[in-house]
Amino acid sequence: MAFGSFDAGGNTQPMAEINTTPLVDVMLVLLVVFIITAPLLTHSIPLDLPTAQAPATAQKPETITLSIDPAGKVFWNDEPLAGNDALGKRLRAAAARQPQPELHLRADRETRYQRIAEVMSSAQQAGIARLGFVTEPVDRARPARSTP
């Protein structure tokens, strides 16, 4: 093997050869590891699984769109609600239905978060299990509106 030395009597040029011995050692170790583990990856346990016929559910659950405007007024499928009591009654009635409908919450960007949290809390207390937020994708041609 060619290693540099610190004595002044030798060639002062840097060594231009690449020592490939460590590289070959690592490659051989990896080859052995892959040879050992490759059969384990293709080995499977034979199982005799039971069969069952289950009809596919073609019926999608009903969706309820709950919209909140910037003033905090709530709309049930584009129909304005009188207050929190009316919202609670409708949410409890929807939670009692089978299959339970999905609640899609749409809020204006100017709506206070407190109002959104109150509506979410009412839905949870009524027993609504599925709640989703509806947003609009950012239009790349038009810059997003920033709030001051």
Contact 103, 64 (CB under 8 A): yes
Q: Report the alpha-carbon distance of residue 84 to residue 118 in Å, rounded.
A: 9
Residue 4 scores a pLDDT above 70: no
63: DSSP letter: E
Query: Domains of the chain by range and CATH?
Result: 63-133 (3.30.420.270)
Q: Which pLDDT tens digit goes with each residue over 72-124?
A: 899 999 899 988 889 999 999 999 998 889 999 999 888 899 999 999 999 99
Q: Where are the beta strands (DSSP E) in 33-123?
A: 63-68, 74-76, 79-80, 102-107
Q: How confident is the model at residue 18 (pLDDT cuts 50, 70, 90)?
A: confident
User: What is the pLDDT, as a whole number, of residue 83?
Assistant: 83
Q: Which pLDDT tens digit goes with each residue over 62-73?
A: 899 999 998 889
* Tokens (6 digits) for 111: 């709506």
Between the two ends of the chain, the Cα-to-Cα distance in Å is 70
Q: Which pLDDT tens digit goes with each residue over 28-70?
A: 999 999 998 887 777 666 766 667 777 766 677 789 999 999 8
